[in-house]
């Protein structure tokens, strides 16, 4: 796979597919981590005299123009981080986009409006998607893929455009791939994996694959209650995927057979309602009251998880241990994050909510070996799937 170092970009128009899918609250960016992660590639191209045209998506507007999903706030923040003006096109491939691109000088940067305002971007119809890809590719001479968080999508800007232009990977994708190889091909052991988040079904593939690769798997978050129920324990009003119980039982049996240690919480924080001010107590994980829901792993479990990370050679973490956005249920996630730092291992935080939790809880990002920008993409890579956006860049 070529990188931008292999491209002659001076004076040429380069379309860069980035991941700028940041959370917004009333038009204000609440976490600019993905924008900051996109800066090194954009800056490197601009400093080499490229005319840089950035494209990205935000949210799921489903092919319609919806102002609340506009990338306008992102253009402003990107300009601040780059220390230069970023021209913003009010459309994706229309008159405004063409004018913004035509107005770029060498070293200039423009950002197109949300790709997903165009139905062709996400269309499952090859002809419709290809027609949009033709229009997008016509804006540039070269293509750089750097939106790792989208490489598992067979979308026009990710999969079809690089088939139409000379292409290469940006610094972010190159860095992500280097890390993922360390999790799959050259793993320093013991290899511990921490999985959280709300649903077991979101992580079935990765659990299935890791049962043959990891030395221990620590399970927390909302998904843990399906594991506890599969063991015959009462989980009260906690999140439960009834249809996954047999699958989880099979995983537990296979883990025991393969010598993979499954670590489950011994206590949980159980509340009367999904609210920060609800009555809540720490209860044994195998005795959650029928009228309460588990919203975090308990302090004993936090210490247990940290102890099972100590001495690991590699740790991959994807998914918070509880509803970390609410202070009473943030302590389990904090304990795991600190456990990664204290482990001395090669530590990878697998994007999405885990990365947001690290920043929200005030941890220094540099304390971790790598914080991924693509939770879903990382998981699919670890499942062993072929990712369309990476495949397109390899050709």
Distance CA 208, CA 220 (A): 17
Residue 118 marked ligand-binding:
no
- From 17, 33, 34, 170, active-site residue: 34
* The two structure tokens encoding residue 207: 């659990």
- What is the phi/psi pair of residue 84, to 5°? -155, 160
Domain that holds residue 169: 4-174
Q: What is the pLDDT of residue 352?
A: 72
* The two structure tokens encoding residue 302: 């936090």
User: Would you call 385 a catalytic residue per the annotation?
Assistant: no
**Is the predicted pLDDT of residue 242 greater than 90, yes or no?**
yes
State the alpha helices, DSSP H only, in 48-144: 72-82, 95-102, 119-122, 126-137
Query: Is residue 388 domain-resident?
Result: no
> What is residue 125's DSSP assignment?
-
Assign 234 to helix, strand or coil: strand
Q: What is the pLDDT of residue 350?
A: 87
Report the b/e string of 193-215 with b at 16+ CB within 10 A.
bbbbbbebebbeebbebbbebbb
| pLDDT tens-digit series, residues 102-155 | 999 999 999 999 999 999 999 999 999 999 999 999 999 999 999 999 999 999
User: Would you call 376 a catalytic residue per the annotation?
Assistant: yes
Residue 257 marked ligand-binding:
no
**Is the predicted pLDDT of residue 172 greater than 80, yes or no?**
yes
Q: How many domains does the chain have?
A: 2
Assign 103 to helix, strand or coil: coil
Distance CA 324, CA 148 (A): 25
Same domain for 304 and 261, yes or no, is: yes
Same domain for 315 and 295, yes or no, is: yes
Same domain for 332 and 268, yes or no, is: yes
User: Would you call 352 a catalytic residue per the annotation?
Assistant: yes
Query: Is residue 132 domain-resident?
Result: yes
- From 108, 147, 170, 376, active-site residue: 376
| pLDDT tens-digit series, residues 327-344 | 999 999 999 999 999 999
Residues in the chain: 395
Query: Is residue 108 domain-resident?
Result: yes
| pLDDT tens-digit series, residues 268-291 | 999 999 999 999 999 999 999 999
- From 108, 145, 196, 352, active-site residue: 352
Query: Is residue 389 domain-resident?
Result: no
Q: What percent of the chain lies above the pLDDT cut of 70? A: 100
Distance CA 92, CA 99 (A): 11
| pLDDT tens-digit series, residues 365-379 | 999 999 988 878 888
Distance CA 39, CA 28 (A): 19
- From 77, 199, 249, 360, active-site residue: 199
């Amino acid at each position: 796979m070529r990188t931008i170092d292999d491209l002659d970009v001076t004076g040429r128009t380069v379309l860069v597919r980035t991941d700028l899918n940041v959370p917004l609250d009333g038009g204000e960016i609440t976490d600019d981590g993905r924008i900051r992660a996109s800066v090194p590639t954009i800056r490197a191209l601009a400093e080499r005299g490229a005319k840089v045209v950035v494209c990205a998506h935000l949210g799921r507007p489903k092919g319609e123009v919806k102002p609340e999903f506009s990338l306008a706030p992102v253009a402003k923040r990107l300009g601040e981080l780059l220390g230069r003006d970023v021209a913003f096109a009010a459309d994706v491939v229309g008159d405004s986009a063409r004018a913004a691109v035509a107005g770029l000088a060498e070293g200039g940067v423009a950002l197109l409006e949300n790709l997903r305002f165009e139905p062709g971007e996400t269309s499952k119809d090859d002809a419709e998607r290809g027609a949009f890809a033709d229009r997008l590719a016509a804006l540039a001479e070269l293509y750089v893929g750097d939106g790792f968080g989208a490489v598992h999508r067979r979308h026009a800007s990710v999969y079809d455009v690089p088939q139409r232009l000379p292409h290469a990977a940006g610094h972010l994708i190159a860095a992500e791939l280097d890390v993922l190889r360390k999790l799959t091909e050259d793993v320093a052991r013991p290899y511990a994996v921490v999985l959280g988040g709300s649903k077991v079904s979101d992580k079935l593939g990765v659990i299935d694959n890791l049962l043959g690769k990891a030395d221990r798997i620590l399970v927390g978050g909302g998904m843990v209650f399906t594991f506890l129920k599969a063991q015959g324990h009462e989980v009260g009003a906690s999140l439960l995927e009834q249809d996954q119980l047999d699958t989880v039982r099979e995983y537990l049996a296979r883990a025991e057979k393969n010598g993979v240690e499954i670590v489950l919480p011994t206590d949980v924080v159980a509340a009367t309602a999904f609210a920060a001010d609800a009555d809540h107590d720490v209860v044994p994980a195998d005795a959650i009251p029928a009228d309460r829901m588990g919203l975090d792993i308990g302090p004993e479990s936090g210490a247990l998880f940290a102890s099972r990370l100590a001495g690991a050679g590699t740790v991959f973490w994807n998914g918070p241990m509880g509803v970390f956005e609410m202070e009473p249920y943030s302590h389990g996630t904090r304990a795991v994050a600190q456990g990664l730092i204290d482990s001395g291992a090669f530590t990878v935080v697998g994007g999405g909510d885990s990365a947001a939790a690290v920043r929200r809880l005030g941890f220094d990002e540099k304390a971790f070996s790598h914080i991924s920008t693509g939770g879903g993409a990382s998981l699919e890579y670890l499942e062993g799937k072929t990712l369309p956006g990476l495949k397109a860049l390899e050709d």
